[in-house]
Amino acid sequence: MNPMPIRLIILGSSAGLASAHRASSSYLLDCGDYGIMFDCGDGATRNFLSMGFRPEWVTHLFISHTHADHICGVSYFVQQRHLSRTDVPLAIHCAPEAVDFLTDVLQSGYLFLKRLSFDLVFDPVEPLTPWRDDHVTVTPYPTTHVDPMRAYAREHGWPDRGGCTAFHISAGNRSVLYSADLGSLDDLKSIPDRIDWLVIETSHVNLGDLWPWVDERNIQQVILTHIADDFDLRAADDAETRTSAKVLIANDGLTLDLN
C-alpha cells in the first residue's frame, strides 16, 4: 500500500529580526485530511490562508519555545479557528512551563478556553518522548537556545517559560529534523535518529561547521531557514562545494514532498 502523501510546507522563514519579505517561523505538515503546524509566528496565518488551507484543518500545533517570532501568531490562529465555529479539537504541544503563559495570552485576548467553539487541550512536550498518530511520529529534543535566558529569569524571580525544543518528524518515507532555534550546532549532535532532511535555522549556526556534520550524518537535503534579510543568499551556491547534500534556502510557500 502506498503511504499517505505528506508534504512539508514552509509558512514562515524569517529570523527573529522581522523581515519585509518573509513571515516569521512556522512550518506545516500537510497530512491530507489534517495538518500539523510547528510554531506560529507573525504572518503565518495570512500565508496559511493564501495557500488555501482552513484553520480548523490544523489539529495539532507544536511550539518550540516562547520567543515572539515563534508564537506571536498563536492567539490569532486560535481566533480564526474559533470564528470558523469549528468543533474540531486542537492540541497545543509545548513545554509544560509554557502552558500557563499561552493560556494567559489567549485569555487576555478574550479567547477563554471554556468558551471556544472547539476543545483546546494542552499536551505538554516530554523531551525524547515521541508523539504519534497513524501517519506521523514527532520526537522532541531539547536545545540550549534559551538556557541563558531561563537562568536570567530565575535569578530575577521571573517565571521560567520552559526550554527550546527541536522536533524530529518521521512521516511519509522521510525523517526530517526541524532544529527550531539552537544554542549551537552541538545541540543536534547527540540526536540518535536518522535524519534524511534537516530544516535548520541560520541565526545561531556557523555554516562552516555545519557541512562536515551534515556529511558525517549522511543527511540528504538541508533547508536553511530562520533567514534574516541580510543573510547572504549565496550560501547555497557555496555549499555545493562543501557538502554532498542538496541545499535549499527556505522561502515562504516552499513545499517539499516527503514521500
- What is the C-alpha radius of gyration for the chain, rounded to an integer number of angstroms? 18
Residue 181 or 187 with smaller CB distance to Zn ion: 181
Please select the residue that binds Zn ion; options are 42, 56, 181, 196, rule is CB under 5 A: 181
Q: Which residues pair with 246 in a beta bridge?
A: 221
Angle between helix 74-83 and 99-108 (nearest 10): 60
Measured from the CB of residue 38, what is the shortest distance to Zn ion in angstroms? 12
Please tell me the distance from the alpha carbon of residue 179 to that of residue 182, in angstroms, as a whole number. 7
Q: Which residues pair with 140 in a beta bridge?
A: 167
Measured from the CB of residue 64, what is the shortest distance to Zn ion in angstroms? 8
Measured from the CB of residue 164, what is the shortest distance to Zn ion in angstroms? 6
Please list every residue from 109 through 148 that binds Zn ion, using CB under 5 A.
none
Please list every residue from 7 through 26 that binds Zn ion, using CB under 5 A.
16
Please list every residue from 52 through 111 that binds Zn ion, using CB under 5 A.
67, 69
- String marking each residue 222-241 x if it binds Zn ion according to CB under 5 A: --------------------
Residue 16 or 183 with smaller CB distance to Zn ion: 16
Q: Which residues pair with 138 in a beta bridge?
A: 131, 169
Residue 259: other Cβ atoms inside 10 A: 12
- β-strand pairing of 90-93 with 58-62: parallel
Residue 69 or 252 with smaller CB distance to Zn ion: 69
Measured from the CB of residue 65, what is the shortest distance to Zn ion in angstroms? 6
> What cell was used for 21?
519579505
Residue 13 or 243 with smaller CB distance to Zn ion: 13
Please tell me the distance from the alpha carbon of residue 169 to that of residue 175, in angstroms, as a whole number. 6
User: Minimal CB distance to Zn ion: which residue?
Assistant: 67
Residue 93 or 145 with smaller CB distance to Zn ion: 145
Closest CA to 69 of 227, 233, 175, 232: 227
Binding footprint of Zn ion on the chain (CB under 5 A): 16, 67, 69, 181
